[in-house]
A and B are shown apart, each in its own frame.
Chain A
Amino acid sequence: MTAPLLQAAGVGYSYPGPTPTKALDNLDLDVEEGEFLALLGPVGCGKTTLLRIFAGFLEPTEGTVRCGGEIIQGPGPRLGYVLQEQSIFPWMSVRDNLEFGLVARGVDAAERHEISDELLRLIGLEAFEAAWPKDLSAGMSKMVEVARVLATDPAILLLDEPFGALDAQTRARMQDALTRLWEQRRKTVVFVTHDADEALYVADRIAVLSHRPGRVKTTVAVDLPRPRSFETRFLARFVALKRMLWEGMDSATQGV
């Protein structure tokens, strides 16, 4: 039994200021290697804060967070973080965006080109390699952002509500693309969302967070068959799990 890749123990976080607000309180969470974990919770429960702590941008005011056994010191390519806001670099072409993390590492041009070629194929945007981000749709931009992070071969993928701003159909397509990508590469993923359906569709396990101050209310193992498909959403098991989640979330929103 290998140790969990990501470990949060007793994590608490308070925002500085005249009246400190506790965003997270005594949160324990383990993420196994190769697992796809969804963080589900109502708006404002601290999901983004937790993800930023995992990504190394914030230090927990209480408790510890470890990746691969070592305390997380700061951001870096090991922790592949994709923001909620659109952050594709608009002044670079799609290919340059994909290669950026590699440039930061000093990888030579030929190798970079190979890797970005592969990624373009993976996300199906070969035709757009030289395009400006302004010519891409929101969904396409997001996929580029995910692929961009994959280029650096991170130990863990941290995705903050990546499909939140998309319409229902695009979102469904993106969820498919992401799960297919994951099924190929088997990265460890922590995926934040407030949509129970989305969490059930993509994840192996769902951690339901309570409302502020956030802690893990309950964990639900998603035993739906992989690979996930269009049919998955209509399985009886899907509906049953969904009910469990809604009940779990409901008590979470009421602060029970």
Chain B
Amino acid sequence: MTAVRIRRAAFALILLAALYGVAAWIGQGRLPDRVWMGAHYVENVQLLPTFPSLFEEAGFLLESGILPASAAVSLLRVLAGLLLGSTVGILVGLATGRASRAESLADPWVSALRFTPALALLPLFVAWFGYGEISKVLLIASGVAVVTLLGAHQGVRSVPRVYLEAAASLGARGAFAFRKIVLPLAFPAIFASLRVAIALAWVTIVVAELIDARMPSLGYLLALSGAYPRVPTMLVSIGTVGLLVLVSDLLALLLHARATRWMGRAA
């Protein structure tokens, strides 16, 4: 990251913040301040909260512990779902990549799951497991599993034959060759799919929590702030989700870079 690029990035972000601030300030007296909530009007709604009111709200939410608690719950669900889903997905994906028989067996199910939006499974899981942690974590896990499965499968499949041939002529075959050669080469594809899986996990959890809203979770906070409505809370919650997504994505990127250091620019 050169100095020029950092400068320009900072400029763009500051400009964005400034534009929002100006819009909020202009909107103070001019934007409608009552909202139709389907059955009645609600007064005193700030459609574009000013920065001071946002900071105040954020401060309140942090101090009272509401935001950290909600964020923690959502984060834990995401992590649980990621762990479960990626383990299953990667293992199955490696198997299908390696053995075409396994691939044929798994194919109908993977294809079916691929084209089902993960969210569509939520009502099913709720019907089977009731509202609660299991259905949510399972939902995230299914979406993650599909994505990582495809990534692992691709990763194994795309290993250039030359490496396997070189290994074979050095006496390495079967499971040993798989561990030492195929796996490292499949890493980049697996990591790439993990990044996608992380984004998917967050998207899924937000909606799942919006639909089945119970304290405490970020989705619930969002839903609650939508019901009143309390815009500063809403924006702070949205911002928190965005921040968590950003941080997880950056972490994944960092891990990817470290794990594929040896690849040079090819990764």
Contacts and interface: CB of A to CB of B under 8 A. Distances in A.
Contacts, number: 3
Nearest to A18: B2
Nearest to B4: A16
Interface string B1-39: 011000000000000000000000000000000000000
Contacts of B2: 17-18
Interface in B48-92: none
B6 to A, nearest CB: 11
Categorize the interface residue count of chain A: under 10
Interface string A224-247: 000000000000000000000000
A124 B3 CA distance: 52
A114 B2 CA distance: 50
Categorize the interface residue count of chain B: under 10
Interface string A1-27: 000000000000000011000000000
B113 to A, nearest CB: 35
Interface string B210-248: 000000000000000000000000000000000000000
B87 to A, nearest CB: 41
A227 B3 CA distance: 54
B127 to A, nearest CB: 50
A17 B3 CA distance: 8
A225 B3 CA distance: 55
Interface in A167-186: none
Interface in B156-193: none
Nearest to B3: A18
A16 to B, nearest CB: 8
B3 to A, nearest CB: 6
A17 B5 CA distance: 10
3 contacts: A17-B2, A18-B2, A18-B3
User: Which 3 residue pairs across A and B have the least CB separation, nearest first?
Assistant: A18-B2, A17-B2, A18-B3
